[in-house]
C-alpha cells in the first residue's frame, strides 16, 4: 500500500493479512506502520484508495 506524505513523497508498505481481511483493516495497518516510522506525516485527506493483492 502506498501512502502520500507531507514531504511530497510516497511511501510503500507491504501489509500481510488473510485474503478475506476487510480493506479498511489493511489501510489502517499501513497507516499505523507509517506513523510509527521515521518518515514525515502521511496526508490524512484522500479521495480514493487502491488496494491490490500481490503474489
Residue 34 · residue 13 · CB < 8 Å: yes
Structural domains in the chain (count):
1
- The pLDDT value recorded for residue 48 is 65
**CA angle 35-41-46, nearest 5°?**
100
| 20/17 Cα distance (integer angstroms) | 8
- The pLDDT value recorded for residue 49 is 66
1: domain range? 1-55
What's the whole-model pTM score? 0.59
- The pLDDT value recorded for residue 44 is 67
pLDDT in tens, 5-50: 888 888 887 888 888 888 888 878 887 777 777 877 777 666 666 7
Amino acid at each position: 500500500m502506498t501512502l502520500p506524505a507531507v514531504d511530497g513523497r510516497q511511501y510503500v508498505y507491504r501489509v500481510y493479512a488473510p485474503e478475506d481481511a476487510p480493506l479498511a483493516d489493511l489501510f489502517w495497518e499501513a497507516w499505523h506502520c507509517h506513523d510509527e516510522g521515521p518518515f514525515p506525516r502521511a496526508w490524512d485527506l484522500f479521495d480514493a484508495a487502491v488496494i491490490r493483492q500481490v503474489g
